[in-house]
A = this chain, B = another copy of it.
Amino acid sequence: MNLELVTIGTELLLGFTVDTNGAFAGKALARAGVRVVRRTSVGDEPAAIADAVRGALARTRAVLTTGGLGPTRDDMTKKVIAKLFGAPLDFDESIWNALLERYARFKRTPSESNRSQAEVPRNATVLPNRWGTAPGLWLEGQAGLVIMLPGVPLEMQKLLDHEVVPRLAARAGETVIMSSVVRTTAVAESNVAERVKVAEDEIAPLTLAYLPGLEGVDLRLTAWNLSRPEAETRLATAAMRLKLLIGDNVYGEQNDDLAALLLDRCRKAGIRVAVAESCTGGIVGQRITAVPGCSAVFVGGVIAYSNELKRDLLGVSTELLARHGAVSAEVAEAMARGAIDRFHVEAAVSVTGIAGPDGGTEEKPVGTVWFAFAIGAQIETVRAILPGTREEIRERAAQYALYGLWLRLPK
């Protein structure tokens, strides 16, 4: 089943809001076997909205819109679509009551402008929205199907998962579009492409796409309109082939988070971990603490941004700093060693580097980062020269810190 998305909102076109809804909806719909063949973004203009939706209905007879269901005068989706379908807008008492209740829970009263949010095109099915004010709407007519969802990302996601995908999956039939992702890190895209080149033809009819990012290069395999069992089997087989060809740089699949995988290994090994960060400034800690339940294994650490704090908090000697500089194997090692000794943990990772844009030299250009991975009495230091802007270097360094420790722990 093909469908088109129409995302409504002038802020999208002006670039003040990034269209995350489009990405999420594409993913969610694919899981239901629905293929998004086009996505159109238009401003809060009745003529543009009507034109985009009409064009989409003419091509695929199935459209999902996001945005324009709020209480302000910019919000015109329902009016426009109702007009397209020749349906009047009816005031729905139960929606209004639900809205009153919701506002009461937050100790607020709605204003006159909220009343429009209880209006429903005649014959539309209301998709109840437990996460926000405006319900979603499902309207079918001669022209086709239009599903209207709020633009607020969390609400759109919930309504998609709970109300839309189940209804669509029922009608999409027996075939699915399904993807599987193999996640790699610490290896360049061209390098990983070389390793899997031999397999590119054998995996047909699956397609393979490379998605480079700050966490590494993701390889996405996609099955196009196969039956669910066949898609699952082919994807699993192809993914295994890729993993074998790529080797150690594979750390996970789908949405695996390297921080979570690292914590799993720590938990299995019965060890606790701390971080000693300099140039990353807290990103490694953020990555780890983003994982619920991390406190079982993660005690915390230090952001030893200044040399003083490297000395005072981690016991790095003034001499070491003077002789080798803060960005060196020796200091990285001392930082990790200090974390293990002082924080009573069994493992620690340290990061010290030059994130730029200033600070680089011929000997230590911007992007130079030293890592130390300490597990018990063992400690290894690694140097990387990471590409990109200041933020990219820092994020890549944090990912490499997680990777290096994960790699050295028992599976």
Contact = CB atoms under 8 A, between A and B. Distances in A.
Interface residues of A, number: 84
A42 B37 CA distance: 6
A125 interface: no
A26 B22 contact: no
Given A108-B190, A281-B285, A299 B309 contact: yes
A41 B43 contact: no
A243 interface: no
A344 B308 contact: yes
Classify the secondary structure of A's interface with B.
mixed
Contact of A303 (B13, B24, B190, B282): B282
Nearest to A52: B38
A220 interface: yes
Contacts of A14: 26-27, 30, 36, 177, 179, 220, 222
Nearest to A293: B358
Contacts of A396: none
B26 A15 contact: yes
A289 B299 contact: no
Contacts of A42: 37-39
A283 interface: yes
Interface of A: 10-20, 22-28, 30, 36-43, 48, 52, 55, 74, 108, 154, 177, 179, 181, 190, 209, 211, 218, 220, 222, 275, 277-286, 288-290, 292-295, 298-306, 308-309, 312-313, 342-344, 355-358, 389-391, 394
